[in-house]
Amino acid sequence: MSNRYSRQTLFPPIGKEGQEKIRSKHVLMIGAGALGSGNAEVLTRAGVGKLTIIDRDYVEASNLQRQQLYTENDVAEKLPKAAAAEKRLKAINSDVEIQAIIGDATPEKLEELADEVDLIIDATDNFETRMAINDISQKYEIPWIYGACVASYGMSFTVIPGKTPCLNCLLKTIPIQGMTCDTGGIIGPTVQMVVAHQTAEALKILVEDWDALRSAFVSFDVWRNDYTTMKMSRAKDPGCLSCGEHPEYPYLSAENRTKTTVLCGRDTVQIRPPHNEGVDLKEMAGKLKALGYEVKGNPYLLSAELEENRFVLFQDGRALIHGTKDMAQAKSLYSRLLG
Amino acid sequence: MNKVLFFAHLRDEAGEESVQLDLAGKTVADVKAIVAEIYGLQKLDSAMTAINEEFASNEEVIKEGDVIAFIPPVSGG
């Protein structure tokens, strides 16, 4: 397909030279939900060299309304999002090397990946991970693009180490959550608007057109017809612990991390064991069946249900406990079954 | 007088898109406390503040005629 990128190379700021740059770059996508699906599809079609996608979740029916890479078949198979995304993206553009990682974007994992990536795109649903991305970005001098949305409201900001303020300059701390997808819902156009802003900035970074970057923080409401930019010329904090004169990268240290997380909008608690020794899923399925659980599975995970207890267990020992937001209750079920 | 703009869920909580208040001489932190009190806003501490469309820290002082906007960060993805 020799003319595959012709319309993109006709665009003067990209051109043939820009296309070669895009081809030589490696992008790390953190999350493969709504924003991850949209961002990954645009960059795969644009012909990025390599795309690494990390996600801890699997595809569910309530994702299909906005998460554009997934199908009803992925729901029926309960495929992990990273695996389903990989399959779809390879079908879209076989030139692009897709690396799918099923798991949590922990600071350790991000440090492992950081060496070889040119750009990080934020498609997560929580500020704990974003603050870790922000510290990794500063420590390894990798640009990253914040994006987030809820209901009809979305926002994006591009962080270039050494040039712009960072997320820690703007927020100072992990914000108290206001409205979440639990209460506010989310519509497809909000996702697409955030994706459009993130991917436009991504293409500028990949072709190294630094002057074209939008330096302002943008936020918008696609239902109320607001579009607001906030200039950032006074926002950089010289004392910032992430990007200031004496950085300590606070969100890479252990005390800023939880092993138990309530997942936004899911009525679900995730449990991540501290030591990753792996679980024998077949053996576990046998044990659960003996306890009366209804068990289904695939090579990546098993799902089990007994009365009000519903959970999914991944091979790395991670579990999603459904039907609860109570961390203690979730931990208790986990330890009852896995010790 | 100063115009104060609310975005996203802050607008729903306040019940207004914008309000007019006399805030000259107050810091951003003062304004957050005053506005949270009047309009019953729970999560204003986490919101970013812009003065005349420029990011402002909690220590910045409001001048007559400044337009203040509260922009809450969201986390969905």
Task: Let me know if A117 is exposed, middle or buried by CB neighbors in 10 A (0-12, 13-18, 19+).
Answer: buried
- For residues A73 and A192, membership in a common domain is answered with yes
Which residue among B11, B45, B56 places its CB closest to the CB of A176?
A: B45
- Running DSSP on this structure, what letter comes out for residue A174? P
- For residues A20 and A133, membership in a common domain is answered with yes
Query: Is position A240 annotated as part of the catalytic site?
Result: no
Quick one: CA torsion of B22, B25, B28, B33, rounded to 10 degrees? -60
The CATH number given to whatever domain includes residue A327 is 3.30.310
Phi/psi at A71 (nearest 5 deg)? -125, 170
**What is the predicted ipTM?**
0.95
Is the pLDDT confidence value at A1 over 80? no
Is residue B66 one of the residues assigned to a domain? yes
CB pairs < 8 Å spanning A and B? 113
- For residues A321 and A247, membership in a common domain is answered with no
Is residue B76 one of the residues assigned to a domain? no
Q: What is the per-residue pLDDT across A123-179, written as a single tens digit (0 to 9) for each?
A: 998 888 999 999 999 999 999 999 999 999 999 999 999 999 999 999 988 776 545
Is the pLDDT confidence value at A249 over 70? yes
pLDDT: is B22 or A263 the higher one?
B22
Of B19, B50, B47, nearest to A177 (Cα)? B47
Q: Which of A30-39, A300-309, B17-26 has the lowest mean pLDDT?
A: A300-309
- For residues A121 and A191, membership in a common domain is answered with yes
Q: Give all strands (DSSP E) within A202-280, no chain letters.
A: 217-221, 226-230, 260-263, 268-271
pLDDT: is A306 or A275 the higher one?
A306
Task: Let me know if B67 is exposed, middle or buried by CB neighbors in 10 A (0-12, 13-18, 19+).
Answer: middle
- For residues A104 and A205, membership in a common domain is answered with yes
Q: How many CB atoms lie within 10 A of CB B12?
A: 13
Integer-rounded Cα Rg, in Å, for chain B is: 11
Q: What is the per-residue pLDDT across A179-189, written as a single tens digit (0 to 9) for each?
A: 555 557 899 99
Structural domain harbouring B49:
2-71
Q: Which residues of A touch B29 (CB under 8 A)?
A: none
The CATH number given to whatever domain includes residue B35 is 3.10.20.30
Q: What is the per-residue pLDDT across A55-72, written as a single tens digit (0 to 9) for each?
A: 988 999 999 999 999 999
Is the pLDDT confidence value at B18 over 60? yes
Is residue B57 one of the residues assigned to a domain? yes
- For residues A196 and A267, membership in a common domain is answered with no
Is residue A1 one of the residues assigned to a domain? no
pLDDT (0 to 100) of residue A189: 98
Domain boundary pick from A256, A271, A306? A256
pLDDT (0 to 100) of residue A295: 94
Classify strands A119-122 and A26-30 as parallel, antiparallel or unpaired.
parallel
- Tokens linked to A282: 């077949």
Domain boundary pick from A221, A256, A291? A256
Of A321, A117, A101, A135, nearest to A240 (Cα)? A135
- Name the catalytic one among A149, A181, A240, A243: A181
- For residues A252 and A268, membership in a common domain is answered with no
Q: Which helix (H) or strand (E) holds A279?
A: none
pLDDT (0 to 100) of residue A177: 55
Is the pLDDT confidence value at A309 over 80? yes
Q: Which residues of B touch A153 (CB under 8 A)?
A: 7-9, 74
pLDDT (0 to 100) of residue A179: 52
Residue from A39, A155, A194 to probe the interface with B (highest B Cβ count within 10 Å): A155
SS3 A285: helix
Which residue among B53, B75, B76 places its CB closest to the CB of A229?
A: B53
- For residues A187 and A308, membership in a common domain is answered with no
CB contact under 8 A, A124 and B54: no
- Tokens linked to A221: 């409401």
Q: What is the per-residue pLDDT across B44-76, written as a single tens digit (0 to 9) for each?
A: 888 999 999 999 999 999 999 999 999 999 988
Instruction: Residue window 289-318, chain A: list those with CB within 8 Å of chain B.
Output: none
- For residues A267 and A250, membership in a common domain is answered with no
Structural domain harbouring A239:
6-256
Q: Which of A163-167, A213-217, A306-310 has the lowest mean pLDDT?
A: A306-310
Mean pLDDT of A312-323: 90
pLDDT (0 to 100) of residue A181: 56
- For residues A119 and A142, membership in a common domain is answered with yes
* Angle between helical axes of A81-92 and A34-46 (0-180°, round to 10): 30
Q: What is the per-residue pLDDT across A4-47, written as a single tens digit (0 to 9) for each?
A: 999 999 999 999 999 999 999 999 999 999 999 999 999 999 99
- For residues A19 and A140, membership in a common domain is answered with yes
Is residue B77 one of the residues assigned to a domain? no
- For residues A229 and A266, membership in a common domain is answered with no
Is the pLDDT confidence value at A317 over 90? no
Find all residues with CB under 8 Å of A1, minimum gap 6, and list them.
none
Which residue among A124, A150, A232 places its CB closest to the CB of B74?
A: A150
> Based on the structure, what is the number of domains in chain A?
2
Mean pLDDT of A226-232: 96
CA distances from A256 to A106, A127, A252, A274 (A): 11, 11, 7, 14
State how far the Cα of A95 lies from the Cα of A316, in Å rounded to an integer. Answer: 30
User: Please, which pLDDT band fits residue A262 given cuts at 50, 70 and 90?
Assistant: confident
Instruction: Residue window 185-244, chain A: list those with CB within 8 Å of chain B.
Output: 186, 217, 219, 221, 224, 226, 228-235, 237
pLDDT (0 to 100) of residue B73: 93
Is residue A97 one of the residues assigned to a domain? yes
Which residue among B55, B73, B75 places its CB closest to the CB of A231?
A: B55
Q: Which chain A residue has its CA at the smallest distance from B69's CA?
A: A230
> Based on the structure, what is the number of domains in chain B?
1
Instruction: Please give the model's pTM, rounded to 2 decimal places.
Output: 0.86
Compute the mean pLDDT over every residue in chain A, rounded to the nearest whole number. 91
pLDDT (0 to 100) of residue A56: 87
Domain boundary pick from A256, A282, A313? A256
Mean pLDDT of A101-116: 92
Q: What is the per-residue pLDDT across A318-330, written as a single tens digit (0 to 9) for each?
A: 899 998 888 777 8
